[in-house]
Amino acid sequence: MWEGSFVASPPVYDPGPTLLLRRFEDAKDLVAAVAHARAARAAQIVAPAGDPALLVAAGFSVASDWWTGAPPLEESAATATEDDLDRLVAWGAQRRAAYERVLPVFWHPAADAEAKHRPYLRHLIESDHATVVVCDEGFLVAERLRTGEVQIDDFVVDRTELWDTAGRALLRSVGGRPLTVICARHDEPKRALLASEGFTIRNSWHVLTL
């Protein structure tokens, strides 16, 4: 048996109906799940867990990896304020546009993505459960989840060649504790930074576009 359900995507994305495949046992389960998704006219299936070999054999590819590590603390980036919102929103839009070219369905931006991203970032800047840091070349959001895990998803630099410098400074500005960083599989310079800081992959999200 497989287990899954249709879920909403983050508000800044609009990939269409998405089946989140939470569990499956074997290749037959994958075939059944794909058939169910097609019958429901789903746009994609996302699998956050399961045997990677079975997923790849069924046509899935890796969208993102969850990396865990604990970089040293070096407070070299500034805490973001509301005055930084314009450039944070612009950097977010820049990343969505770049990612959409790699997986046009999974990372398809919502029509009003920037309008939705702005109040979310403002909320995080003002909250006591998130740390938002910024420098001249990028920004990072470290959000403490209810589980206690500190997760980083919004982590952007202006140009790929800046990951080793600005990216490292941003990451270490929230370091000194265990972190989980979500990183797209295709984002090689960012992956190289994480590996150089001692991060390892905990799990991967596979996606099948229908």
Residues 6+ apart with CB under 8 A from 100: 107, 108, 109
Domains of the chain, earliest start first: 3-63 (no CATH), 68-202 (3.40.630.30)
Whole-number Cα distances in Å, 93 to 96, 97, 110, 156: 5, 6, 11, 10
Tens digits of per-residue pLDDT, 9-61?
999 999 999 999 999 999 999 999 999 999 999 999 999 999 999 999 999 99
Query: What is the rounded end-to-end Cα distance, in angstroms, of the chain?
Result: 21
The answer to whether the predicted template modeling score (pTM) of the entire model surpasses 0.85 is yes
Q: Average pLDDT of the chain?
A: 97
The residue type of 109 is P
What pLDDT does residue 31 have?
97
As a whole number of angstroms, the distance between CA 171 and CA 196 comes to: 12
pLDDT digits (tens, 9 = 90+) for 118-158: 999 999 999 999 999 999 999 999 999 999 999 999 999 99
pLDDT of residue 80: 98
Report the pLDDT value the prediction gives residue 100, as an integer from 0 to 100: 97
The confidence score (pLDDT) of residue 135 equals: 97
What is the predicted pLDDT for the residue at 168? 98
List Cα–Cα distances, 85 to 48, 79, 133, 158, in angstroms.
31, 12, 12, 15
Residue with tokens 């040293």: 72
pLDDT band at residue 111 using 50, 70 and 90 as cut-offs: very high
Identify whether the C-beta of residue 34 lies closer than 8 Å to the C-beta of residue 6: no
